[in-house]
């Protein structure tokens, strides 16, 4: 009935537990009254929530792996395309596009590890802990643990019904995925602007403006960026709820579900949306190459080239800094200035150094 959407609640149902017991009794007769034997809503809720988190986090792990696959495929297809690498959002050194894309893939790979670790820790059955102190009835919690597919059974009944560490840990792992989606989304927002022009989104994954006909907005990437704050808020909210609770169960724990449900929904949708967006986008290798071939782009490489030929690093650093200033002032490629400087007679260079020291 639940699967088919035909289950009918009635006004006398106190909650989902009593609703199920009522309906089972209607179907099975007096035997339904035994349904709640040796159970409490406290251990039932904890059990259901762990089963739900285990299933949904496994979905998150699979979708994260799917995004990693997209990034890897795009990296494989990038060939020798290169772009500027940035620090402080300023051009630093040229890097391969494949290297850049795989940097994001590695971050998501760590997310998968965190998710799987969290699932392994929450894979404990609390069923049988009762309200807080177990039951005097001869039940076998290990049997229900196996039947429900949990890896282990609870060790302490008080902890079993009051523990929501697994929800907080799930929210943290989801917030980290969201953070990485946000960073990835931010780069795509930048890359698809006219100012960068490194990538173009498919029409399916961009929107226009109600007033500005020329606009093609990276809404999916922007939403991925915006959702990160919401995910962090869900984590912070639950931690604040948990921080002052005495053992064992408290009604405050009702507040654990909404942030978990919301974070799972937002992250799972975001992973799917960004994977589709990146798979369908196109890269502008010419624009990337032009930006990466700026006069001073290879300054670090030149300094290391000088070091490899025996010049002390600090001297090489100062030398290249001087050449960069000349390069920018004359709009001459740095490499050309290095070649010209290297072609000067040794005595002229020595004389200049002595004059500078004087």
Give the pLDDT of the chain (358 residues) as one tens digit per residue: 999 999 999 999 999 999 999 999 999 999 999 999 999 999 999 999 999 999 999 999 999 999 999 999 999 999 999 999 999 999 988 999 999 999 999 999 999 999 999 999 999 999 999 999 999 999 999 999 999 999 999 999 999 999 999 999 999 999 999 999 999 999 999 999 999 999 999 999 987 654 554 568 999 999 999 999 999 999 999 999 999 999 999 999 999 999 999 999 999 999 999 999 999 999 999 999 999 987 777 788 888 888 888 889 898 889 888 888 887 788 777 767 766 766 555 544 444 444 454 3
Per-residue confidence (pLDDT) for residue 344, from 0 to 100: 58
Res 350: pLDDT? 40
State the architecture of 296-357 in CATH terms.
Orthogonal Bundle (1.10)
Parse the chain into domains and list their residue ranges.
Answer: 1-36, 41-291, 296-357
Asked if 196 contacts 91 with a C-beta cutoff of 8 angstroms, the reply is: no
At 179, list the tokens.
């953070």
Q: Is 100 one of the annotated active-site residues of the chain?
A: no
DSSP states of 177-230 as a string? Answer: HHHHHHHHHHHHHHHTSTTT--EE--GGG-B--SS-TT--B-HHHHHHHHHHHH
pTM: 0.87
Query: According to the model, what pLDDT value does residue 358 have?
Result: 39
- pLDDT, residue 200, reads 96
Same CATH topology for 41-291 and 296-357? no
36 is catalytic: no
pLDDT score of 349: 43
Q: Which long-range contacts (CB under 8 A, 24 or more apart) does 25-28 make?
A: none
Closest CA to 81 of 64, 99, 61, 69: 99
Strand-strand pairing, 124-125 and 90-96: unpaired
Burial group, residue 5, by CB count within 10 angstroms (0-12, 13-18, 19+): exposed
Catalytic pick among 58, 209, 325, 330:
209
| Fold exhibited by the domain 41-291 | Fumarase C; Chain A, domain 2 (1.20.200)
Catalytic residue (one of 88, 136, 210, 354):
88
Residues 6+ apart with CB under 8 A from 7: 1, 19, 23
């Amino acid at each position: 009935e639940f699967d088919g959407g035909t289950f009918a609640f009635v006004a006398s149902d106190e909650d989902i537990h009593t609703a199920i017991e009522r309906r089972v009794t209607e179907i099975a007769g007096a035997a339904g009254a035994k349904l709640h034997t040796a159970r409490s809503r406290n251990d039932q809720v904890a059990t259901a929530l762990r089963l739900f988190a285990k299933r949904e986090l496994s979905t998150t792990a699979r979708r994260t792996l799917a995004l990693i696959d997209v990034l890897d495929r795009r990296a494989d297809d990038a060939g020798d395309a290169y772009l500027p690498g940035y620090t402080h959002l300023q051009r630093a050194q040229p890097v391969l596009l494949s290297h850049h894309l795989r940097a994001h893939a590695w971050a998501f790979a760590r997310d998968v590890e965190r998710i799987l670790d969290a699932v392994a820790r929450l894979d404990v059955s609390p069923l049988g802990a009762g309200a807080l102190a177990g039951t005097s009835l001869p039940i076998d919690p290990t049997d229900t643990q196996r039947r429900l597919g949990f890896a282990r059974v609870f060790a302490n009944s008080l902890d079993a019904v009051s523990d929501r560490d697994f929800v907080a840990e799930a929210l943290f792992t989801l917030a980290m995925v969201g953070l990485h989606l946000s960073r990835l989304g931010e780069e795509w927002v930048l890359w698809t602007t006219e100012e960068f022009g490194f990538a173009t989104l498919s029409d399916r994954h961009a929107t226009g403006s109600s007033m500005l006909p020329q606009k093609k907005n990276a809404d999916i990437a922007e939403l991925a960026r915006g959702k990160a704050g919401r995910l962090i808020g869900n984590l912070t909210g639950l931690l604040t709820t948990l921080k002052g609770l005495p053992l064992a169960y408290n009604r405050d724990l009702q507040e654990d579900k909404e942030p978990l449900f919301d974070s799972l929904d937002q992250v799972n949708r975001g992973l799917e949306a960004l994977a589709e967006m990146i798979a369908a986008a196109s890269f502008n290798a010419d624009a990337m190459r032009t930006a990466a071939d700026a006069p001073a782009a290879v300054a670090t490489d030149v300094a290391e080239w000088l070091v490899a030929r025996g010049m002390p690093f600090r001297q090489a650093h100062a030398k290249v800094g001087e050449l960069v200033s000349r390069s920018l002032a004359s709009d001459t490629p740095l490499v050309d200035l290095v070649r010209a400087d290297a072609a000067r007679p040794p005595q002229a260079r020595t004389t200049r150094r002595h004059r500078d020291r004087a």
